[in-house]
Amino acid sequence: MEYGQFCPVAKAMELLGERWTVLILRELHMGATRFGELQRGLCQISPTILTKRLNDLANAELVLRKRIPGQRGYEYLLTEAGKETLPLVIAIGEWGMRYARGDLRDTDMDVGLLMLYLQRSIKTDKLPGGQSVLRFRFTDLEKLNNWWLIVKNDNVDICLEDPGKDVDVYFTTDLRTMIDCWMGDASYRSAIADKRLKLVGPSALTRNVQSWLSDSVFAGIRPAREI
C-alpha cells in the first residue's frame, strides 16, 4: 500500500502496515527463523500470505533469506534494519496491554500459542538436573488438553503425546487462567488459592514458578482504566 506522502510515519507504514507483518516481526524477534516455526506462532496465516510477507520483508531488507545448508528450505534472519524494529514491536505490545485487551474473547485463547510461549519462557539453567518434564492439563478443553514440555540441558521440546517420562511438575487448570498467570494478569499464588490452578511437584519448583518460568515481557503493564 502506498500513501503518497513524504512523512516517515507513512513511509514506515508502507513497509509494516500490511496485515500480519508486525506479528511476523514479533516471531522473528522471539527466535523463530524457519517457515514452520513462523507458522506455529501465526497459526491462522496461510502459507501463501506468509510467503508473500516474508518476500516483502526481504525486498525491504528487513529480513535476509538464507538457504539452510544441505536442505531445501530457508532461514529468515533479521537484518540490522529488522532488528531495529524491536522497540516498535515492544511499544505496540505495551500500548495493547493498556488499551486493547479489554475485549479478550474465547476465540483469542489459543492453546498452541500459549504453549509455544511457555516453551520459549523456560529458564533451563534454573531447573536442576539434566532433564525436567512439565505436564499441562487444561480442564476446559476437549481437544489439545494435554501437553508436555521436556527440558533437556538447554533444549525445550513440546509433546502432545505422553513421552513416557517421569513428570516433575503438573499444571492442572483452565486455559484462560494459565494465560492470565503467564501474562501477569493473575498470580500463581492467587490462582492456586482460588482453586483455579493445581500445581503438583517438589516445593522447590512449585513455590516460585517465575524463578524458572519467565512471565511475558508485557507482564505488569496494567490496563489504563486501572491506573
What are the tens digits of pLDDT across the range 48-62?
Answer: 999 999 999 999 999
Give the model's pLDDT for residue 2.
Answer: 87
Torsion angle in degrees (nearest 10) through CA of 155, 216, 13, 38: 30
pLDDT at 105: 86
- Mean pLDDT over 79-104 rounds to 93
Q: Check: CB of residue 138 under 8 Å from CB of residue 197.
A: no
Q: Give 219's DSSP letter.
A: T
Nearest to 56 by CA among 33, 37, 82: 82
Buried b (16+ CB within 10 A) or exposed e, 86-104: eeebeebbeeebbeeeeee
pLDDT bracket for residue 227 (50, 70, 90): low
Contact 18, 57 (CB under 8 A): no
Q: What is the DSSP letter of 163?
A: -
Reported as a single tens digit per residue, the pLDDT across 102-150 is 777 888 899 999 999 999 999 999 998 889 999 999 999 999 999 999 9
Q: Interhelix angle for 47-59 vs 21-29, to 10°? A: 80
Residue range 76-88: mean pLDDT, rounded: 97
Mean pLDDT of 217-225: 89
Return the pLDDT at 187: 94
Q: What is the pLDDT of residue 225?
A: 81
pLDDT at 149: 98
Q: Which H/E stretch holds residue 36?
A: helix 35-41
Predicted pLDDT at 199 = 97
What's the chain's length in residues? 227
- Provide φ and ψ at 139, rounded to 5°: -75, -20
Domains of the chain: 8-99 (1.10.10.10), 106-211 (3.30.1050.10)
The Cα 153–Cα 49 span in angstroms is: 36
Q: Of 45, 22, 41, 28, whose CA–CA distance to 96 is shortest?
A: 22
The grid cell for 112 is 498452541
